[in-house]
Amino acid sequence: MRILLAGASGFLGTRLTDHLHSCGHETVQLVRRPARGPAEVSWSPSAGQLDPAVFTGIDAVINLAGAGVGDKRWTDGYKALIRSSRVDSTTTLATAMSGVAAADRPAVLLNSSAVGWYGDTGDQPVEENAPAGEGFLADVARVWEAATGPAETAGVRVVRLRTGLPLHRDGGLLKPQLLPFRLGLGGKLGSGRQWVPWIAMQDWLRAVTFLLDHDDISGPVNVVGPAPVTNAAFGKALGAAVHRPAVMPIPAFALHVALGEFATEALHSSRVLPGALTEAGFTYRYPDLPDALHAALTQA
């Protein structure tokens, strides 16, 4: 396939680009600066600007664009950026795709979303048919997913990737925890009873290519592992993976002091299950957390 990719320079995008190439696919990256060659195309999602000619010869579009949720403290301005970076990029792509003649239109749009859609689920397991929850990230996910509407109305197969927490030592959930855990200072966050919807990075990459290839799958898909665990269990498993005890809990009030409003979302419980992937027959390479953590810490 020839795939147009937005967000290729991010934590997930760089790994997905390499994975797609290893599978024999060709990628064209959307960039916010002048293009540096035929494998790049300039666009301005904040201004809604994308040349429809970019879709010529493109089989699929994958959109991972969006400012990092945990990269900075949540000021009003940064919250606005989290929302606009996702909604603007999605709206620009979906609208441009809807304006292209059917013969030139890519067959599928895989658009990033997040398990934040569900809000705090407590101990209740949820699959893709669960409604949106409450809170800032749930509100963002609601408008983010709705922004794919023009492409869907035009007949494009749209898959909304409700991604959990991909495990890799260089980013995401693991990176900020590795140093304290390796120093023996790791442990549960808050009560530790909240559920963590993790997925091995390799399984996330494989799930994306699986969804590219399966024309019968559309709508929301929970891209999470099959066995979510509590935060306390996650901390114990991570301690074991780095051969250190995990007995230093971080109380909720300390998280609020350190993270501000983001702490509330970080302490949410997300017992999210991969209903659509399981039904479609997707098989996990790392279905168990200890194996997934070992892979996360040892693989490139």
Residue 94: burial class (beta carbons within 10 Å; 0-12, 13-18, 19+): buried
Q: How far apart are CA 112 and CA 215, in angstroms?
A: 18
Q: Is the pLDDT of residue 258 over 60?
A: no
- Residue 294 gets the label, from left (phi > 0), alpha (psi -120 to 50) or beta, of alpha
Return the sign of the alpha-carbon dihedral for residues 150, 152, 154, 157: positive
Q: Please give the Cα distance from 251 to 192 (Å, whole number).
A: 9
DSSP symbols for 4-71: EEESTTSHHHHHHHHHHHHTT-EEEEEESS---STTEEE-BGGGTB--GGGGTT--EEEE-----TTS
Rounded to whole angstroms, the Cα distance separating 145 from 160 reads 7
d(C-alpha 44, C-alpha 30), whole Å = 9
Output the CA torsion sign for 127, 261, 167, 22: positive
Q: How confident is the model at residue 149 (pLDDT cuts 50, 70, 90)?
A: very high
Quote the CA–CA distance of 12 and 77 in Å, as a whole number.
24
Does pLDDT of 295 surpass 80?
yes
Strands 229-230 and 195-196: antiparallel
Q: How far apart are alpha carbons 50 and 300 in whole angstroms?
A: 34
- pLDDT value for 257: 56
pLDDT category at 266 given cuts 50, 70, 90 is confident
Handedness of CA 20, 197, 171, 159 (dihedral sign): positive
Query: What 3-state DSSP class applies to 280?
Result: helix
Q: What is the mean pLDDT of the chain?
A: 94
pLDDT digits (tens, 9 = 90+) for 189-225: 889 999 999 999 999 999 999 999 999 999 999 999 9
* pLDDT at residue 263, rounded to an integer: 67
pLDDT score of 177 more than 90:
no
- Torsion angle of alpha carbons 163, 186, 190, 223, nearest 10°? 10
What are the DSSP calls for 201-242, one per residue?
HHHHHHHHHHHHH-TT--EEEEE--S--EEHHHHHHHHHHHT
User: What predicted TM-score, i.e. pTM, was given to this entire model?
Assistant: 0.95
Give the pair of three-digit tokens for residue 266: 């970080």
Domain boundary assignment for the chain:
2-298
3-state secondary structure of 161: strand
Report the pLDDT averaged over residues 87-95: 98
Kindly indicate the confidence band of residue 72, based on its pLDDT and cuts at 50, 70 and 90: confident
From the list 108, 133, 208, the residue with the least C-alpha distance to 166 is: 208
pLDDT of res. 134: 95
Q: What is the mean pLDDT of residues 68-74?
A: 84
- The confidence score (pLDDT) of residue 254 equals 65
For domain 2-298, the question of CATH label 3.40.50.720 is answered with: yes
Per-residue confidence (pLDDT) for residue 70, from 0 to 100: 80
Beta bridge mates, 219: 159
Helix axes 289-298, 231-241, angle to 10 degrees: 50
* pLDDT band (50, 70, 90) for residue 176: confident
Asked whether residue 115 carries a pLDDT value surpassing 70, the answer given is: yes
Q: Evaluate if residue 265 carries a pLDDT over 80.
A: no
Q: Give the pLDDT of residue 71.
A: 77
